[in-house]
């Protein structure tokens, strides 16, 4: 039965993306701000599908910490849901995405409007492109969202934070708002299986700008890992080094 629910949800996931994307595209052509309208509409459809098809629910905590202007968001990454749900609590989310996704039907057209595409083929070139895009987005009041570990991680995977977030933190000179989560409980990093349960996105107090690189990285990892582990059932938690 769980396999059947998961299969139906995958159809709903991509079907709703196609419908929302095609219906709202004429608005986006004339005003790119409707990219966020589309993102929110699709995210609502996904959350609805999780609840009524899979039997999984989603909640948001710490919304008083959500920045309203230009900012940098550092989020734990366990599932594809993490790329959709932020549109439900961030005013103007700007995603950093792999450049090749710009060629994906429907989704690619939206990403290329006002999101940040990065070619991972060359690190130095990719970093410069990322910095330019992030500066522009923050100047326009966007919340640049980055996954410090770079890819989706299993619940029990040890932390693997990449240096790109530290470079952005120093270059932009803005606070970094961490977002903890436990989405891996219902949505694995790979495969189509989804599970019943409840997951939470928790927006944490911002880390102020100006910290030395090592201190910033240590603090970011500490708060994200500690808070994300606290969202898990006791039997699934692993110890976090202070």
φ, ψ of residue 5 to 5 degrees: the values are -60, -40
54, 158 contact by CB (below 8 A) = no
Q: Which domains does the chain have, with CATH numbers?
A: 59-236 (3.40.1130.10)
Predicted confidence at residue 63, as pLDDT, reads: 97
pLDDT per residue as tens digits for the range 92-134: 998 877 766 666 666 666 776 667 777 666 666 667 777 888 8
The torsion angle over the Cα atoms of residues 51, 201, 73 and 226, rounded to 10 degrees, is -150
| Mean pLDDT (the chain, rounded) | 88
Confidence label for 34 from pLDDT (cuts 50, 70 and 90)? confident
Global pTM value = 0.91
């Amino acid at each position: 039965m769980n396999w059947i629910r998961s299969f139906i949800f995958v159809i709903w996931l991509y079907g709703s993306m196609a419908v929302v994307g095609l219906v709202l595209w004429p608005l986006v052509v004339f005003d790119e701000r409707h990219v966020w309208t589309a993102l929110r509409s699709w995210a609502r459809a996904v959350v609805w599908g999780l609840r009524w098809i899979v039997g999984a629910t989603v909640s948001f905590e710490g919304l008083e910490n959500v920045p309203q202007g230009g900012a940098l968001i550092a989020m734990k990454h366990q599932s594809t849901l993490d790329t959709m749900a932020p549109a439900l609590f961030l005013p103007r989310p700007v995603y950093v995405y792999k450049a090749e996704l710009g060629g994906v039907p429907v989704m690619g057209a939206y990403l290329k409007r006002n999101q940040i595409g990065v070619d991972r083929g060359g690190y130095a070139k990719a970093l410069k492109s990322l910095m330019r895009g992030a500066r522009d987005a923050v100047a326009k009041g966007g919340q640049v969202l980055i996954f410090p570990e770079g890819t989706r991680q299993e619940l029990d995977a040890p932390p693997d934070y990449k240096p790109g977030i530290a470079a952005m933190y120093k270059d932009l000179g803005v606070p970094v708002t961490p977002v903890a989560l436990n989405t891996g409980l219902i949505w694995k990093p790979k495969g189509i299986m989804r599970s019943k349960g409840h997951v939470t996105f928790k927006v944490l107090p911002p880390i102020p700008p100006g910290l030395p690189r090592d201190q910033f990285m240590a603090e970011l990892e500490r708060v994200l890992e500690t808070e994300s582990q606290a969202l898990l059932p006791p039997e699934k938690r692993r110890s976090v080094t202070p």
